[in-house]
Amino acid sequence: MSDRPAPIRVDKVSIRAVRGPHPDGSGRWYWRADKSIGKRQREIVWQGWELPDTVAREVMKVLTGRPPTVTQGDVQTIHDLLDCWTDATVSTRTH
């Protein structure tokens, strides 16, 4: 297994790789971006499979109201489909 990428901060949002790398060999990790909403409470603003070099850009798209990018290779298994559905559900709940 590869070394886990370092956490990233975008304004008040923390972005962390929570699992990966993806078994398809693409180099993507499953990331979770969240922010503090009070003492000991965090709100997830984005989560999904993304490359370490592009994850901050995807989170910024959500924070600015732009839809996240979905590439053709993102959905190859039922697991990937459920990840995409979860991502879309979380995105709609935070806006």
Domain definitions of the chain by residue range:
8-93
For residue 3, the SS3 value is coil
The per-residue pLDDT for range 6-24, each reduced to its tens digit, is 999 888 899 999 999 999 9
The per-residue pLDDT for range 77-92, each reduced to its tens digit, is 777 767 766 766 665 5
The per-residue pLDDT for range 32-79, each reduced to its tens digit, is 999 988 888 999 989 999 999 888 888 888 888 776 666 555 666 777
E-strand ranges in the chain read: 8-10, 13-19, 29-38, 41-50
* CB neighbour list of residue 88: distance below 8 Å, 6 or more residues apart: none
Rounded to whole angstroms, the Cα distance separating 91 from 61 reads 11
Adjacent-strand bridge partners of 57:
none
Residues 84/69, Cβ–Cβ less than 8 Å = no
